[in-house]
Every structure is written in structure tokens, then in C-alpha cells.
Chain A
């Protein structure tokens, strides 16, 4: 009977509030902890914290969170598989490289920027403006890439996005001399980049706790963006496309435009993440943007629970931590304890692969699934159940519910019974048995 319990999804706002509160508390707690508590801890405790959960890893994980949330809009909401999301990470990063450094040294632009003392050449724009520009520039590129490719369906689209995910970083790797123009400084990268100004305080490369606050703030913004869009007109259209593209178009949803919107919003978030990352590592380096990052991002979305922002956040934090810190530390501890020489970090993809396989076997809907996905993967459709003769039980279950929630109403119960009975006559899909009537 547990299976037959009809779900009555209400607005998810209450749960979202709870999660948002935990998120805020977590962020503030981490910031205060690292800024004020950890430096005063005894050396051994502080170094333990620094080994197992260094701020650099937290900051990098926050960047992954931002990007995974962006990818979630494309994959989780609109159902468009994108295997080249790293492209937007790269583009966002290079916007910071171009607009917040001395790279273009023949120019001398300064818009609320913070050039290094004595080196005014180059383009120096305030991080907050660059953040917006990076997002907008990536959204533009999302549209440019999406325009020709979004006419393709699922697998083909995935392949083409994979191609773009390879092409764009390659352009940056080889972009040292494009007809004499140096776009990216090739594999040497662009470094250093200017600091971030936070309420009049200029953050240097070592103000990691403040940077964490900023990155977490950007992530919070993307969460807000995701949740609000999800509840609105555009979010409904995305979900409708995910559910049934053809029916959506016949209900007045313009497919190309709506998918492009998903690409643009996802890419915008990707651009924010890319820009954040460039300030974290104090530069952009073309070789860091490889294909595996796209796959890790996708794994984060799947692990966390496609479509659920909170699940995606957890998935991103867990995988990013394993990748950057967890494996290394575990490996060292293990090797010290057993006197072995195993190179644990080199097994990261083996581990991710195993995690994904286990997830697919035992928890396909992700750690914290969107309720919809869970329903899809765990519970049979009612149409299927009635076709299999579960009708009597369904009616009984429904009667129980109606007597609980509604004042008893004869007419309502009668129609309910009626309809459920009909479901047996006419199985919903063509692949089940022939209808009983002729």
C-alpha cells in the first residue's frame, strides 16, 4: 500500500526556506571559523583543519557549486544534455584575465579598478562589473553555440556540446598569435589578476575567507535565480520541454527560444563561476579547462539529484572535496599507516566511476532528489498500475484519502470510482494489452 499512496505535491517553498537557512548558517559559520577561530587554535588542530579542509579547497568547491548550478539549469530543468560546460568556465575566466590585469598593456583603462601600484597599463575594471560582464558574455556565447546546435535532439546535441567544450579551450591554448593578435597568452596564461574590492577593502591573494564569502554569495545568487525561474513562466516551459517537447510546442512554447534561454541562463551562471575561479587562482591558465571538468560537473548534478538545487550543491561539495583534498589526504594517511606507495589521487576517476555506478544501481534519483525525478524512477505510474489490476486498491486508497481530507461527498466518490474503472478498459500506452472494448 505504501506504493499506492498518492503524492500531493504542494509548493516546495517551505523546504526551500529550511535549506536556504542552513546554507546561510553554514556559510557564515565557515567564514567566522576560518577568519577568527582557526588562527587561534593550537598548532596541531589548525594544521589538521588546514590539511583536511583547507580554505583553498572550500573556495574551489564553491566555484564548482556555482558551475554545477548553472549546468543544472540546462540539464536538470530543460533536460538538455551538455557535455561541454567547461567552455563557459574558460570564457568567464578569460573575461577576468582580459579586464582585470595588465595583459592588454597597450591600453590604459581603469573603471573603479585596482591596478598594481606603479603599473597602470592594461584594463582594470572592478571585479563586480567584470562579474556581470563575464556572465553576460558567456550568456551571449551560450546563445551563439546554442543557435545552430539546439535543433539537434538528445544524443546528437550531447556530442556537439562535447565538441564545443573541446574547441573553446583549444582556442585559448593556441590563442597566443591569431594573425599577430595575442588573445590568451597561450599556455602561459594570464596572471596575476587584480584584487577584489569588498566594501572598500581590497582583497589580496591570501584573503581566502573573504573570497569564500564572495563565492558563496555568488552561489546563493544562482540558487535564487534557479528557484525563482523554476517557479515562473520560463521554468514551467523548461520542465514541459523536458517532459514532452512536442506537446510543449503545441501548447505555444517556442522550443528554440526556450532552450536558448536555458542555455543562456546556464552559461551566465557558468560565467560567474569562471570569473570567480580566476580570482581564486589569481589568473587563467588554458590547460586547466579540460574535458574531465565537464564530466565532473555533470557527475555533480547527477550525484546530487538532477533538478534539485540543494542536492546539486551537496553533490558539488562532496565531489570537489574528494577531488581536491579528500583523496590526497586519505592517500597520505593510508600510505603512512601501511607503509605503501599507492598514488591515490590518480585513482580519482576510478572512484567517480564507481560512485556513479553505485548511484545508478541504488539511488538513481540522486542524494537529494527533486521529488519529480524520484517519482519517475521509483514509483509506477497510476495508469500502469490500473492496467495491471490495481484498480480496486487504488479506489480504496482514494476513498480513504477523500474521507480524511474532504467532507464525505457522494457525487465525488462516484466519479472517482467511475474513472478508475475506466482506466482498466483503456490502458494508457499502446504497448500494454489491447483495450477490453471493441
Chain B
């Protein structure tokens, strides 16, 4: 299996604080891998490096064997790396459908003049984009919200809309930043199935940052543990679960039982 993302020796520091220290990390194609660690471990910073928001101080990010280090976010998104946000960032005063269509920006061609003249090509392109947006809303199960402003959707629907929007980029890798935050156990369980569906039906790898250990342990083919910016363990759920460093650094010695491990 080839790697969709290969990040080598990534280091990011803010002033004197090293947020991510020499982390090497890969996401194989069509895999589900997770990144876990206590708050402040550098997970989201690492995410932000992958998506081009931060430029790493050193290290290389390759996406499907292409060096994308330091490219602006929209280029990386275009290449097929999509993400959701830890605290939802939808376009609140645009409808659900428009939200999804924004993410198709790089796939559409129509310029100012074609749009002004409503050429046949432009009209067809718009119609196709709209159909695809509806199909995606349907895929995540919120087609009834199509014409609602995103800010008026319920919390759960907003999370789903974020996924639909990310999928509109036709990503090879989907980065989900704490997608089950605020979900109850039943919903988390449904979400696990949804991740499997993603991989089967959309042919995309999933990189997950997640605090809910039951979700992480169930879906991940590989788990990477960060602590204070360093990678302290990597492996299958079994391996990580029994790693003493992980238990000490992340879960604390007494926490293993209550965290559901």
C-alpha cells in the first residue's frame, strides 16, 4: 500500500515553545489512522502543518509523493486533502448547499465573463455542482437542510455538513479534528459506521484526531500518540493500549479503566 501522506521530521515552534518536535508520520491510502494525545500535545498544530496553515520550521510534507511543504492551504486542499474543524467553522450565512458548493471552487472553471453571460457551459457546470452538493448532503444524511443557513442547523447537522463540505473537495485524505466531540455514545457508534462507509464508498483515507477512546480503538488501523510535541508511540490499538509510556503520559496510571481501555 502506498502512502497518501508522508510527513517527515516535522518541527514547529512558536517563539521558544516547540509545539511539534521531529514527528514523522504517514497515512497509507484508504486507511484509517488516528492521532491521539492529551490536550496541548500538538495534534492540531500537526494537522495545521499538513493542511498548509503553518509552515514547519523543518521537515517535509509529501502528498501522494509530491512535496507540498509550505504550499498555501488552497493548493493543498486542491491536491485532495480536506479537513473539518475542531470548533465548527461553517459559512454561517450561506445555505447548506452553498457551503458544500464553495468547496467545489477549485473544480469549477467559470470565470467572470462566462458567469455574466450565463453561457451554456457555465449553466451546465453550476447544475452539475448543485447535483453533486445535493448528493453529498444526502450521503451525510442532512438533505432536508439544503436551503437552510448553516448557522441555523442543529449541532449534529453542522458537524455532518462540515464532512459533506470536506468531501466536496474529492479528497484522497480526510482529516477529522475531534469529530465526535459532543456526541452521545449512540451517535459515536453511528459515526464509526460512517467512517467505514467513507472509506468504502468514497475511496478516501481518514486521519482522525479524537478523544473518545472507544471510537479510536474501534476504527483505527494504526494509532499514533503525541505528547508534548513528540511521538511517543505508534502501532495498532493493541500495541498502543499496552505501551507503558502511553499509559503514563497520556492516560495516567489510574485512568486506564475509566477511559474504557
A joins B in a complex: yes
Contact at A419–B98, with CB atoms within 8 Å? no
Contact at A229–B116, with CB atoms within 8 Å? yes
**Chain A residue with minimal CB distance to B162?**
A247
B87 within 8 A of A: yes
What are 30 A-to-B residue pairs whose CB atoms are below 8 Å? Answer: A7-B149, A8-B148, A228-B118, A229-B116, A232-B110, A233-B104, A233-B110, A233-B115, A234-B111, A234-B115, A237-B105, A240-B94, A244-B89, A244-B91, A246-B53, A249-B73, A249-B74, A251-B105, A372-B93, A372-B149, A375-B93, A376-B93, A382-B151, A382-B154, A383-B155, A383-B158, A420-B154, A422-B187, A428-B88, A428-B155
Cα A371 to Cα B89 in complex, Å, equals: 21
- Point out residues on B near A: beta carbons under 8 Å: 51-53, 72-75, 77-78, 82-83, 85, 87-95, 98, 101-106, 108, 110-112, 115-116, 118, 122, 126, 129, 141, 144, 147-149, 151-158, 165-166, 168-169, 181-184, 187
What 0/1 pattern do residues 227 to 252 of A give for CB contact below 8 A with B?
A: 01100111011011001101111111
Residues of chain B contacted by A376 (CB below 8 angstroms): 92-93
Contact at A243–B93, with CB atoms within 8 Å? yes
Contact at B156–A236, with CB atoms within 8 Å? no
Contact at B155–A419, with CB atoms within 8 Å? yes
Contact at B91–A386, with CB atoms within 8 Å? no
Q: How far is the CB of A53 from chain B (nearest CB, A)?
A: 33
Cα A250 to Cα B52 in complex, Å, equals: 8
Residues of chain B contacted by A255 (CB below 8 angstroms): 72, 74
**Chain A residue with minimal CB distance to B169?**
A252
- Point out residues on A near B: beta carbons under 8 Å: 6-10, 224-225, 228-229, 232-234, 236-237, 239-240, 243-244, 246-255, 261, 265, 372-373, 375-376, 381-383, 386, 406, 412, 415-416, 418-420, 422-423, 425-426, 428-430, 435, 437
Q: How far is the CB of B162 from chain A (nearest CB, A)?
A: 9
Residues of chain B contacted by A406 (CB below 8 angstroms): 144
Residues of chain B contacted by A426 (CB below 8 angstroms): 155, 181-183
Cα A247 to Cα B86 in complex, Å, equals: 12
Cα A39 to Cα B89 in complex, Å, equals: 60
Residues of chain A contacted by B85 (CB below 8 angstroms): 247
Contact at B102–A381, with CB atoms within 8 Å? no
Cα A419 to Cα B152 in complex, Å, equals: 12
Contact at B92–A381, with CB atoms within 8 Å? yes
- Residue from B148, B166, B182 within 8 A of A425 (CB atoms): B182
Residues of chain B contacted by A412 (CB below 8 angstroms): 144
Chain A, interface SS category: helix
**Most chain B beta-carbon contacts within 10 A, residue among A252, A372, A435:** A252
Residues of chain A contacted by B87 (CB below 8 angstroms): 428-430
Cα A244 to Cα B89 in complex, Å, equals: 7
- Residue from A6, A243, A252, A425 within 8 A of B91 (CB atoms): A243
Contact at B116–A225, with CB atoms within 8 Å? yes
Cα A426 to Cα B108 in complex, Å, equals: 36
Evaluate whether A423 and B155 lie within 8 angstroms (CB atoms) in the complex, with A7-B148, A232-B122, A253-B74 already known: yes
Contact at A228–B116, with CB atoms within 8 Å? yes
Residues of chain A contacted by B98 (CB below 8 angstroms): 236, 239
Residues of chain A contacted by B52 (CB below 8 angstroms): 250
Contact at A250–B77, with CB atoms within 8 Å? yes
Cα A6 to Cα B152 in complex, Å, equals: 7
Residues of chain B contacted by A419 (CB below 8 angstroms): 154-157
Q: How far is the CB of B150 from chain A (nearest CB, A)?
A: 9
- Closest 3 A/B residue pairs (Cβ): A426-B182, A419-B156, A252-B106
Residues of chain A contacted by B83 (CB below 8 angstroms): 250
Contact at B110–A251, with CB atoms within 8 Å? no
Contact at A248–B154, with CB atoms within 8 Å? no
Contact at A228–B115, with CB atoms within 8 Å? yes
Contact at A252–B115, with CB atoms within 8 Å? no
**Chain A residue with minimal CB distance to B187?**
A422
Cα A240 to Cα B94 in complex, Å, equals: 8
Residues of chain A contacted by B75 (CB below 8 angstroms): 254
Cα A70 to Cα B85 in complex, Å, equals: 34
Cα A236 to Cα B102 in complex, Å, equals: 6
Cα A435 to Cα B87 in complex, Å, equals: 13
Q: How far is the CB of A267 from chain B (nearest CB, A)?
A: 13
Residues of chain B contacted by A422 (CB below 8 angstroms): 154-156, 182-184, 187
Residues of chain B contacted by A243 (CB below 8 angstroms): 91-94
Contact at B182–A261, with CB atoms within 8 Å? no
Cα A406 to Cα B143 in complex, Å, equals: 13
Contact at A247–B89, with CB atoms within 8 Å? yes
Cα A383 to Cα B75 in complex, Å, equals: 32
Residues of chain A contacted by B92 (CB below 8 angstroms): 243-244, 376, 381
**Most chain A beta-carbon contacts within 10 A, residue among B111, B144, B147, B154:** B154
Known A246-B89, A250-B83, A252-B78; 17 more pairs at CB < 8 Å: A224-B116, A246-B73, A249-B74, A250-B77, A250-B82, A251-B103, A251-B166, A255-B74, A372-B93, A376-B92, A381-B152, A383-B158, A412-B144, A423-B154, A425-B184, A428-B155, A437-B182
Q: How far is the CB of B199 from chain A (nearest CB, A)?
A: 21
Q: How far is the CB of B237 from chain A (nearest CB, A)?
A: 23
Q: How far is the CB of A43 from chain B (nearest CB, A)?
A: 46
Residues of chain B contacted by A416 (CB below 8 angstroms): 154
Residues of chain B contacted by A244 (CB below 8 angstroms): 89-92
Contact at B105–A233, with CB atoms within 8 Å? yes
Cα A79 to Cα B102 in complex, Å, equals: 16
Q: How far is the CB of B113 from chain A (nearest CB, A)?
A: 10
**Most chain A beta-carbon contacts within 10 A, residue among B101, B105, B157:** B105
Contact at A253–B116, with CB atoms within 8 Å? no
Contact at B153–A382, with CB atoms within 8 Å? yes
Evaluate whether A254 and B72 lie within 8 angstroms (CB atoms) in the complex, with A386-B155, A422-B156 already known: yes
Evaluate whether A236 and B94 lie within 8 angstroms (CB atoms) in the complex, with A251-B77, A265-B112 already known: yes
Cα A213 to Cα B90 in complex, Å, equals: 43
Cα A254 to Cα B141 in complex, Å, equals: 29
Q: How far is the CB of B101 from chain A (nearest CB, A)?
A: 6
Contact at B77–A232, with CB atoms within 8 Å? no
Residues of chain B contacted by A252 (CB below 8 angstroms): 74, 77-78, 103-106, 169
Contact at B91–A234, with CB atoms within 8 Å? no
**Chain B residue with minimal CB distance to A226?**
B116
Cα A204 to Cα B19 in complex, Å, equals: 71
